[in-house]
Copies of this chain bind each other. A is one copy, B any other.
Amino acid sequence: MRILVVEDEPDLRRQLKAALTDIGYVVDEAANGEEGHYLGENEAYDAIVLDIGLPVMDGISVLERWRKADLKTPVLILTARDRWSDKVSGLDAGADDYLVKPFRMEELLARVRALIRRAAGLPSAELACGPVVLNTRSGKVTVDGAPIRLTAQEYRLLAYLMHHPDKVISRSELTEHIYDQDFDRDSNTIEVFVNRIRKKLPVDIIKTVRGLGYRVEAPAGPDAA
């Protein structure tokens, strides 16, 4: 998953990036509203953390512009404690959640995770596909309860696919979401990681759709329901 952090204060920005990176996300950062707005509109993020009190272009305006341009990425806004009304206008402008500064990093991580999960329309923090279970909270994958050791990239790839069950994900969409801005397009790393994951999982939940990309099937066949 790829996250955008828009925060002017260098120290907090660094902390946010570090914490989000630690739990396995790919993070881009913007130091002001203008840059943030541009990135949000042009890159593919799974969630955005947006400080409301920004120089150059304030957070509310950025958010409003995004929503006007029909950007659906979930946004978590950060507000100062003494600017209580910002929270309301932020939610009005289309924020999906808010957090009052100062906050505990743990809290933020939990909320970002929840945003990504809800945006994918998933009911639980545990994504299951047959015997394979991916826990977004612990960042662990198990098969029939037995833990599987995945590297960072392997996990990101699998997590992204499992967040979009039954949907064909193209190679380019995958690279957009598990790498940051600059990455060589014509490379077969995606295939290599798919291969590795397949070798580590006893069941092959990743189907390749020739010419289009990959797809993991939803757990339970929705059969004659």
Contact = CB atoms under 8 A, between A and B. Distances in A.
A105 B37 CA distance: 16
A18 B102 contact: no
A85 interface: no
A24 B24 CA distance: 32
Chain A interface category by residue count: 20 to 34
State the majority secondary structure of interface residues on A.
loop
A71 interface: yes
B139 A41 contact: no
A187 interface: no
A211 B139 CA distance: 13
23 contacts: A18-B172, A19-B172, A22-B170, A22-B172, A22-B212, A22-B213, A24-B212, A38-B102, A41-B102, A41-B104, A42-B102, A42-B104, A69-B103, A69-B104, A70-B104, A70-B107, A71-B104, A138-B167, A139-B168, A151-B210, A152-B210, A152-B211, A152-B212
